[in-house]
């Protein structure tokens, strides 16, 4: 039996002529895997609050400063829209064409409401409210690097940029210095929620531009992305809708059990994808091809078809143009003409009233009239 010492082994390995055909390989491949690199806006949002011992006069003064700051931000948003409208009149803005990708909006799911067509058919809809949406930052395609590279190869012919959108004003004193610094150069008050949308370079918007319900038209089709309600660990009856066993006739302790999960014989195993108990909810889900039936410009509310949009009441969802080829802008059955590009530069006035789809029954109009007897 031949024994080697550590010094003799190191001398032996140094004496071996390593060629290109024989290269040592590391066995710990997990060290070479790509890491998740979060975007720059993934920072700590809220800070630790302390008792500042402000007097009533100080609190009133701070509230007044906050109110003036919010009004100044609203005026700045209107001035940005006016500048974009002037640029459109002078021909500086790009015109919409099929294949361009607009930005989306951040909405809050506030409830459900039925609508009826003129022939009496009931349609279940979900109300989505767009609250204080403003553009925070635009990152051009050559500078934007996603946290994880997509599986498909990057489209270099038509690259997409990144538009950072914020929603719902927040108290600046409640946010950390790092999070508030994201809004420093945009002239936008710190927002409670941030989201990024991949857009075409022609659809970019300057920071501070307001996004309202007029970004969509009545009859447009949209995709809604939401976070499902976390139900925890659930059984097959609630998670997959199993019927269960009979309540009587000899059934003992198996009323809500899944039953057999596989066959025996040569392939005695559980097949992948078998519906079994497990964690339910807490997943991102997208509903595609939902139609906008009604718009309220005063409160920025959209009536969208469907009652199964992911998320709970007052939960956030992301609304953007659909990717379905038969329901995109320009397809048959979609409102004619180009959509507001890059956004609605002249939003509908707040006192204009709701905008309804032509096929719906407008309850503001009389459907039955009565006349006096003998007329």
Q: How far apart are CA 60 and CA 117, in angstroms?
A: 51
What are the structural domain ranges in the chain? Answer: 56-88+97-145+158-231+280-356
Confidence (pLDDT) at 147: 73
Residue 293 near residue 310, CB atoms below 8 Å: no
pTM of the model: 0.80
Confidence (pLDDT) at 99: 86
Confidence (pLDDT) at 314: 94
Neighbour-count burial for 321-348, b at 16+ CB within 10 Å, e otherwise = bbeeeebbbeeeebeeeebbbbbbbebb
Confidence (pLDDT) at 88: 56
For domain 56-88+97-145+158-231+280-356, give the CATH number.
2.40.30.10
**Closest Cα to residue 118, out of 330, 356, 355?**
356
Residue 26 near residue 32, CB atoms below 8 Å: yes
Q: Give the count of alpha carbons within 13 A of 259, CB side only.
A: 8
Q: In what order do the strands lie in the sheet with 161-169?
A: 191-199, 161-169, 133-139, 210-211
Tokens of 69: 């700051």
* C-alpha pair distances (Å), 110 with each of 84, 123, 130: 31, 17, 10
Q: How far apart are CA 149 and CA 125, in angstroms?
A: 36
pLDDT in tens, the chain (375 residues): 556 565 665 665 566 555 544 455 555 555 555 566 788 888 888 888 877 788 888 888 878 887 777 777 666 666 666 666 566 555 567 888 888 999 999 999 999 999 999 888 999 999 999 998 999 999 999 888 877 665 555 666 678 899 999 999 888 888 998 998 888 888 788 899 999 999 999 999 988 888 999 999 999 999 999 999 999 999 999 999 999 998 888 888 889 999 988 887 777 888 889 999 999 999 999 999 999 999 999 999 999 999 999 999 999 999 999 999 999 988 888 888 889 988 988 777 777 788 999 999 888 777 777 887 766
Torsion angles phi and psi, residue 337, rounded to 5: 90, 160
Confidence (pLDDT) at 34: 56
- Give bridge partners of residue 122 from the DSSP assignment: 116
**Closest Cα to residue 225, out of 99, 106, 100?**
106
Residue 106 near residue 320, CB atoms below 8 Å: no
Q: How far apart are CA 154 and CA 121, in angstroms?
A: 45
Tokens of 37: 């690199």
Q: How far apart are CA 318 and CA 128, in angstroms?
A: 10
Q: What is the bridge-based pairing of β-strands 232-234 and 278-280?
A: antiparallel
Confidence (pLDDT) at 85: 58
Q: How far apart are CA 333 and CA 317, in angstroms?
A: 25
């Amino acid at each position: 039996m031949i024994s080697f010492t550590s010094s003799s082994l190191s001398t032996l390995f140094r004496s071996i002529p390593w060629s290109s055909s024989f290269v040592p390989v590391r066995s710990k491949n997990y060290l070479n895997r790509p890491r998740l690199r979060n975007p720059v806006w993934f920072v700590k949002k809220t800070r630790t609050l302390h008792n500042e011992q402000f007097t009533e006069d100080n609190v009133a003064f701070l509230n007044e400063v906050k109110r003036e700051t919010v009004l100044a931000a609203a005026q700045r948003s209107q001035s940005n829209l006016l500048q974009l409208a002037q640029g459109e009149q002078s021909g500086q803005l790009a015109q919409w064409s099929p294949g361009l990708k607009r930005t989306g909006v951040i909405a809050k799911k506030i409830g459900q409401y039925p609508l009826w067509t003129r022939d009496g058919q009931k349609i279940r809809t979900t109300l989505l409210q767009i609250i204080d949406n403003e553009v925070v930052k635009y990152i051009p395609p050559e500078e934007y690097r996603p946290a994880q590279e997509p599986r498909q190869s990057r489209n270099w012919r038509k690259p997409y940029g990144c538009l950072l959108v914020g929603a719902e004003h927040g108290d600046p004193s409640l946010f950390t210095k790092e999070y508030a610094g994201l809004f420093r150069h945009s002239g936008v008050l710190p927002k409670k929620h941030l989201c990024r949308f991949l857009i075409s370079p022609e659809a970019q918007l300057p920071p501070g531009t307001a996004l309202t319900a007029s970004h969509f038209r009545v009859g447009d089709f949209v995709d809604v992305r939401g976070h499902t309600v976390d139900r925890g660990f659930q059984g097959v009856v609630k998670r997959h809708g199993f019927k269960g066993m009979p309540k009587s006739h000899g059934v003992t302790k198996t009323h809500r059990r899944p039953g057999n999960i596989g066959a025996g014989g040569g392939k005695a195993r559980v097949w992948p994808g078998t519906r079994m108990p497990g964690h339910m909810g807490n997943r991102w889900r997208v509903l595609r091809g939902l139609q906008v039936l009604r718009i309220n410009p005063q409160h920025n509310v959209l009536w969208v078809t469907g009652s199964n949009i992911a998320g709970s009441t007052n939960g956030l969802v992301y609304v953007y143009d659909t990717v379905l080829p038969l329901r995109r802008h320009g397809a048959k059955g979609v409102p004619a003409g180009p959509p507001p590009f890059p956004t609605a530069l002249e939003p509908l006035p707040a006192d204009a009233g709701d905008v309804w789809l032509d096929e719906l029954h407008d309850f503001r109009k009389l459907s039955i009239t009565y006349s006096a007897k003998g007329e």
